[in-house]
Amino acid sequence: MNYSFFFLICLIVLPLLCHLRKWTPAALFFTAALTYLLCGAIGFVSIKSVVLGNAQDTYYVVNRGHILLNLAIVMAFFAVLTWLQTYFGAMLYPSATKALFWLLHIGLIGASLFATLIVFVWPQPRRYIDYPEYMDMLANVSSWTTRICAIAGIGLIVLFLVSAVQTRIAR
């Protein structure tokens, strides 16, 4: 977990640089997908490189590399959809696509971060009454960021469909 802050900075800074350089929305999605992929792969490599006296399967579960690889697949899916729209000239709303990208991206970071904190970092008490007060707040933040991700994902798909239909009608 000591490299999580570095990964968090990479997950925000690299797409932000692409956004500030006025790259296309497809480039934003591809950059985010590559960043998620690299962070997940480095997480797996760091777990494999640890020399342990008694290697157990639980060390692979504690790492959140599999979560980051799944998020890379989601971002790659939207990257391909956005690139196809740009390639075929159906990208009618690039600024709305960028706004929905940032909602999705920040929501994915928040949802995976808070879920990891709740499940893997803080100890789990045996009784419900023993949970500290802040765990309720973390669970609420995690659920709200998940809702934001769902809204952004549905918004992107609707935006892609509307752009495709409007482009088809215009031709």
Distance CA 8, CA 36 (A): 10
pLDDT of residue 108: 87
pLDDT of residue 21: 92
Q: Where are the domains of the chain?
A: 4-170
Better pLDDT: 10 or 123: 10
Q: What is the pLDDT of residues 60-98, one digit of tens each?
A: 455 667 778 888 999 999 999 999 999 988 888 999 999
68-to-63, 109, 127, 170 alpha-carbon distances in Å: 10, 9, 31, 39
Q: What is the pLDDT of residues 14-33, one digit of tens each?
A: 888 888 898 989 999 999 99
